[in-house]
Structure 1
Amino acid sequence: MNENNKIKFTQLPRVLSKLEKRIVIVLIAAAITGTAWWGYDYYIKSTQKVPKKGGVYTEGFVGQPKFVNPIIAQANTVDMDITELVYSSLIKYDANNNIVLDLAESYEISEDAKEFTIRLKKNLKWHDGEPFKADDVIYTVQSIQNQSLQSSLKSNFDKTTAEKIDDDTVKFSLKEPYSPFITNLTFGILPKHIWELIEPANIPLAELNLQPIGTGPYKFKEFQKNKIGEIKTYTLELNEDYYRDKPYIEKVNLNFYQTKEELAAALEDKKIDGLAYDSETQEIVETMEWLNKYAMKLPRYNAVFINYGNNEDLEFKKVREALQKAIDKKDLTDKTFNGKVDIVNEPILENFTGYNPELKTFEYNLSESNDILHNAGWNEVDENGYRKKEGKILEFTLSVSDFEEHVNVAKYLQEKWKEIGVKINIETFSPADIQEKIRQREYDMILFGQVTGHDPDPYPFWHSSQRQEPGLNLTSMKDEDIDKLLEQARETADKDTRAEKYKDFQEKLTDNAVAIFLYSPRYLYAISDKIKGLDEGLITKPSERFSEINKWYIKTKREKNSNFER
C-alpha cells in the first residue's frame, strides 16, 4: 500500500455517510463472528469429549461396615460393596456376563473339567507396595477352607485342592468334574504377608477388616466415627498402581445412615450422589430429575415350588398344570411391581448358557384351567366357589416369607387360583423360620427366590439328590432323565454341549410342571447425572455394580478426533 492509498484509507470515516459506516461495521463484525464460529465449529468437529481424571463420588447406605474382607463379608451388603472396590479377584464378569481376566493373565481347563490352571499377571502390587504372588491366592483359598472361619464361600472349594506351580501360576484340582468351577474364582484375594500373622479364629476380630489392603482400583484412606462409635463416612482414594485402566474418579466417599428415611433425606439435600433403592424409597427417587435410574438384571428368579409329596392332590400332574395356566404373569408383574421386573418362564435366564427363548411353556388360559380340573373330577362347587371331589375341597397351603413383595405376590396368586375354584391358605414366616420350613420340606407349595450366579448350573436346584437338606431342590421331583442331563452338563467343558444339555433339561422340567416360574427382580440403582460411564447390564450381586467403576467419570476434556475428515 503506497502513501496515497494509506491516506485515502484513513480518510474513509470522513467521506462515508452514517449509513455506510454502519454497514461497514456490520460487515466487519460479521466477518469476525463468522471466523470465530468457523474456528469453534472446526474445533468441535475435529476434537471429541473424553473422560479425564478428577472428581468425588459419594454414595449413601443404610447399615455399617464390619468385615471389609472378601472371605467373610458375604452376609453384609455394605461390606461386599467396599470389598468390590478395594480387592481384586482372579476373574470377574462384565455387564454382558462375559469373563474378564482380573488378576489372572490366562486360564486353562482340562478336558475332564477337573483341573483349572490360572496364570497370574506379573509385577502387580498390593496397596502397601508389596508384590502380589501365587502365595496370596493359595493362602486365601486355604483360609476359606478353614472350618474355624466359617466362610460362606467354603462350599465352593469342598473337594478342591489349590496348588502353587510357581510364583505366577496356581492350579485348582477337583475330585469330581465340574465345568462351571471357573465361576467360583470371583472371590477377592487377601495379602498373605499381612493376614498370616493372625490366627484364623481371630481374623473376624482384626482391625484390618476395617482398614483393608487389597489390589483393587481404590484403597482405604480413612473413616470417621460419631460419639457412640458408629462409622458415618468411609473414604477410599485412587490406587495409582492399579494394573488395569485406572479409574477417573479420584475419591469415593461412603456415607452411612440408620434408616431409609435418613438416607432419603440425605438424597433430597444432595449430600449423596447415589443409592440403591426399593419400593419404600422409589417414590422419592422417581421425582428427582437429576438422578439417572438404573434397573440392573440379576440372575435370580422367584417361583412357586410344588412339593407334591406333601399333598396327595398335587401329585396329579393335571392339577399342577391347571395351576400353571391360571396365572397371568404380565398382569402380576404390572400390578405388583409396576413392570420393574422381568417375566420368567424357565430357570435359566436370558444371557446365560442354555437359555431357550423357544421353550414351550404354559400360557395363561383360565378356561383351560377350569376344563382341566373339571375333567379331572373336581366338578363339584361349594357355596364359596371352591371345587370339590367326593366332598373334599381342592385346597393347598402356600408358604411365603413375610417380605412385603412376597406377601403381595402370594395374595395375587390366591385371587387368581380362586377364579378356578382352588382354595389357597397363605402362611407367612420370618426369613429364619422359612429356612427351617425348607430344611424340613414341610410345605405344599412355597414362594421362594433362587440365585443362579454367572453360570446357571441347575444341578443344586433340580437334581433329585438335592431334595433334602442341604440341597436346594424345593420340589418332590425325581426324574432320572433330568438327573442324567445335569450330571453330563457338569462333566463337559464345552459350552455348546452344556447349553444343549441345559435346554433338554428345561423341556423335561416344564413337562413335569413342578414349579411355576414367575419373575426375576432387578436391582434398582439411582446415581447423579454428573456420573458418566456406568453400564446398565447384568450383575449377580449388588456389589458388582462397581465391577467396572474404573470406567466411571465426572470430568471431561477435549482431544483430537482421529476420525475427523476435513
Structure 2
Amino acid sequence: MIFDSVMALLFRGDKTFVHWRGDRMKQKALYLFMLFALVLSACGGGASQPVTARIGWAGSPDTLNPGMAILAVSYTIFELVYDSMYELNLDGSFTLSLAESAEVSDDGMVWTFKIRDGIEWHDGQPLTAEDIAWTYNLYKDTPEYPYLNGYYTPHFDTIVATENNEVILTLTEAIPNVESQLMFLYILPKHVWEGVDKLEYENFEMIGSGPFKMAEYVQSEFVRLTANKEHFSTPPKIDEVVFQTFSNQDALVQAIKSGQLDMITEMPNTAAASLDEDPNIELVVGAPLAPGVSDIIFNQMDPENCPTEEGGICSGHPALRDRNVRLAMSHATDKQQLIDVVLLGLGEPGLTLIPDGLGVWYNNSIEDFAFDVAKANQILDDAGYADTDGDGVREMPDGSQPLNFRLNWPSDSINAPRMAELLGEMWGQIGITLEPQAVDPDALTAQCCPAF
C-alpha cells in the first residue's frame, strides 16, 4: 500500500511476526526475539542432540548483497551472518557490538570507536578496524547502493582506520541518530570483497563474522545457516537454522500446525484464533516484538521537480499537495474500524511512523486526528472543493478535475485489499473516490522509488 504518517495504524505484533517490506527495525527485533526463543528451546531439550530451528516465511531474500537488498527477509539473514557497530536491545536502546568503547567529540562531529581484539571472520581471518572503515567507505561511495548512501551515510565525511585498531568517523554535521545508522551497516570482509564486482556479489561464498555461517542457499526455496560457536559475543545455543520459503501465508499456517516448522514469521490475521486454540502452538503478542506500522504515503511530488517521463511519481493528483485535503482524509479515517475489521482487533491506532514499542523514540504527547466526518467535509468546503455536478465527487477549486485518487499496494499484501475497500467507503463520505489496484511489489518499488 502507498503509505503516509498522518494515518498510521500501529500493530501490536499480529500475534506472530509480520513481514513488512523494508522494515529494518522490525527485523532487528525479530532477530533478537528469535535468538532468545531459540536459546530457551535449546536449553529445554537434551543438550547432547544437535538442535535445528525450522522457520517458515512467505518470502525469499532478493539478494545476499547488503548494499543492494531491499526486502526485509534479506536483513534477517544479514543480522545472523554479519555484525555491525551497534546492536538493538529489546527496550529500544543500543549496545556496542564490534567496538568495546566509543568516544564522541564535544561538537558531535567526530566519533572514535575502539574495535575489539580477537574477532575473526568465518574463514578465520582477523576482523580489524580496516575492514570496518573500508566497508563504510564502500557504502558511502558506491552510487549503485542508493538505499545505503542515501539514507544511512549521507552525513559521513571521512572514515579512517588507525594503527591502534580504531575507527574514526567524521561527520559533515552533527546528527542525533548515529547509533541507529551504524546499526544497519553490516561489516564486510575487505579481503573477500576488494577487487570483485560490488554489484554482482551473489556468486562467491558469503563470509561474515556473525553468530551464524551461511551453509546453503537456494533462491525461493530455503536458507540454511550453521552456528558460529566461536562468535565473540554470545555463541548460539542451537546448531542450525533453516528458513523455508512457502508460497503463501496459508501454507505457513498449515506447516506449523502439522509440526513441519518450529516458528513462522507471518500469518493471516484470520488464522490467529485457530492457532491460539492449538495446545502445541504458542502465539506471541506484544513485547518483545517490535510493532509494525501500516500507513499511507501521499504522492505530493511537484511536477516541476519531476523528470519528463510519464507515470510514476510524476503523475500524482495535484489535490494531494494541499494539506487541507490530506487533513480532511485523516479526519475521515476510522482507524478503529480498520483495526477491528481488517486486523480482527490485533492492533491499535497509531500516532506517527514511530511506534510506542521503540521506547524513548516515541512521542506520546502528539494529538491524534479525531475521526470526524463532519469536520472533514467542512475542511474541504472551506478550501473550495465542491461537488459542482452533483455526482457525489468533489472537484478541484478551479473545477479542473475530480478528487479521484489512485491507491496502490504490493500484491503480496494480505490485508491491503480489504483495507483499501474500507478506505474507499470512508473517503466516499467526504466526496473522494479511489481507484484501488494491487501492483507487483517490484513494479511498485520502481514506480514510487525509482532510485531503488
Structure 1 length normalisation: TM-score? Answer: 0.57
Conserved 8 A contact 1:402-1:429: yes
Q: Is residue 60 of structure 1 aligned with residue 89 of structure 2? A: no
CA shift at 1:301, angstroms? 4.6
Indicate conservation of the 8 Å contact 1:105/1:121, yes or no: yes
Alpha-carbon contact 1:70-1:87 (below 8 Å) kept: no
Matched residues in 2 for 1:77 and 1:218: separation?
Answer: 18
**CA distance in 2 between partners of 1:308 and 1:80 (Å):** 30
Give the Cα–Cα distance (whole angstroms) in 2 for the partners of residues 202 and 391 of structure 1: 49
Higher helix share: 1
> Deviation at 1:276?
1.1
Farther off after superposition, 282-291 or 166-175: 282-291
Distance 1:334 1:165 in 2: 56
1:325-350 residue CA offsets vs partner (Å, 9 max, x unmatched) = 22221112211211323422234432
CA change 1:376–1:102 in 2 (3 A) is: closer
Give the distance between the partners of 1:79 and 1:437, measured in 2 at CA.
21
Alignment match, 1:397: 405
Q: Determine the structure 2 residue equivalent to 1:178.
A: 175
Residue 269 of structure 1 pairs with residue 266 of structure 2 = no
TM-score normalized with structure 2 length: 0.70
- Structure 1 position 208, deviation (Å): 0.6
**For the structure 1 residues 274 and 110, does the alpha-carbon distance in structure 2 shift closer, same or farther, using more than 3 Å as the test?**
same
Q: 2:136 aligns with which of 120, 137, 141?
A: 141
Cα distance in 2 for residues equivalent to 1:150 and 1:410 = 33
Alignment of 1:444-459 (within 5 A): none
2:204 matched residue in structure 1: 207
Q: Are 2:295 and 1:302 aligned?
A: yes
Residue 139 to residue 415, structure 1, CA distance change in 2 (3 Å):
same
Describe how 1:116-515 pairs up with structure 2 within 5 A: 116-145=111-140, 147=142, 150=145, 152-155=147-150, 156-158=152-154, 159-186=156-183, 187-196=185-194, 198-201=195-198, 204-209=201-206, 212=207, 214-220=208-214, 222-223=215-216, 232=222, 234-237=224-227, 239-257=228-246, 260=249, 263-279=252-268, 282=271, 285-286=275-276, 288-295=278-285, 296-298=289-291, 300-305=293-298, 307=300, 320-350=326-356, 351=358, 355-373=362-380, 385-386=392-393, 395-403=403-411, 404=413, 405-420=415-430, 422-428=431-437, 430=439, 431-432=441-442, 434-435=444-445, 438=448
Distance 1:80 1:308 in 2: 30
CA gap 1:327/1:79 in 2 versus in 1, 3 angstroms: closer
Q: How far apart are residue 68 of structure 1 and its match?
A: 4.1
Cα separation, partners in 2 of 1:401 and 1:108, compared to 1, 3 Å: same
Structure 1 unaligned runs (5+)?
1-49, 440-468, 472-566
> Contact 2:60/2:73 (CA < 8 Å) preserved in 1?
yes
| CA shift in 2, pair 1:129/1:111, >3 Å | same
Q: CA-to-partner distance for each residue in 1:131-162, whole Å, 9 max, x for gaps?
A: 22112212322333453864742332345321
SS in 1 for 2:296: strand
Question: Deviation per CA, 1:407-442, whole angstroms, max 9, x where unpaired?
Answer: 43232122122224x131324262455456546xxx
Supply the distance in 2 between the matched residues of 1:122 and 1:275 (Cα, whole angstroms): 37
Are the equivalent residues in 1 in contact too, given 2:250–2:267 (CA < 8 A)? no
- Looking at secondary structure, tell me which structure has more strand per residue: 1
Indicate conservation of the 8 Å contact 1:114/1:175, yes or no.
yes
- Deviation for aligned residue 1:267: 2.3
Q: SS where residue 137 of structure 2 aligns?
A: helix
Identity among equivalent pairs (%)? 22
Rate the CA distance shift 1:58–1:396 in 2: closer, same or farther, 3 A: same
Equivalent residue, structure 2, for 1:532: none
Aligned AA for 2:116?
Answer: K
In the alignment, is the contact (CA less than 8 A) between 2:52 and 2:242 conserved in 1?
yes
User: Which of 1 and 2 has greater Rg?
Assistant: 1
Aligned length: 382
Describe the shift of the 1:174–1:371 C-alpha distance in structure 2 as closer, same or farther (beyond 3 A). closer
| 1:282 Cα offset (Å) | 3.4
- Gap runs ≥5 in structure 2: 1-41, 303-315
Task: Summarize the Cα distance change of 1:282–1:160 in structure 2 as closer, same or farther, 3 Å threshold.
Answer: farther
Letter aligned with residue 332 of structure 1:
L
CA change 1:314–1:131 in 2 (3 A) is closer
Q: Is the 8 A contact 1:143 1:149 kept in 2?
A: no
- Deviation string, structure 1 residues 171-225 (Cα, Å, up to 9, x no partner): 11222333323322122222233433x523475143213xx3x2222234x4387
Quote the offset at 1:241 in angstroms: 1.9
